[in-house]
Amino acid sequence: MMDLKWKDAEEIAIRLVEEHPETNPLTVRFTDMHTWIVALPEFKDDPKTSNEKILEVIQMAWHEEYQDTKA
């Protein structure tokens, strides 16, 4: 498994669906999502370098993955 960085929105989204399969991403606060991302074993980026825009991109990618699992 490769190391994940903030820029890896698609890969992070896939991991979040795996870790939290029943969670609708649109109901998750950015603070909680940040905590969950940083807790992923493959995540190897600086937790302080994320921002709202980065988290928004990850949330949208996560939402797409989530929708795919419900289809």
Contact 61, 12 (CB under 8 A): yes
Give the Å distances, CA to CA, from 36 to 1, 17, 30, 56. 18, 11, 10, 14
pLDDT tens digits in sequence order for the chain, 71 residues long: 689 999 999 999 999 999 999 999 999 999 999 999 999 999 999 999 999 999 999 999 999 999 999 88
Query: Alpha-carbon distance 13 to 19, whole Å?
Result: 10
Contacts of 50 (CB under 8 A, 6+ apart): 6, 34, 37
Residue 4 has a pLDDT of 98
Residue 39 has a pLDDT of 98
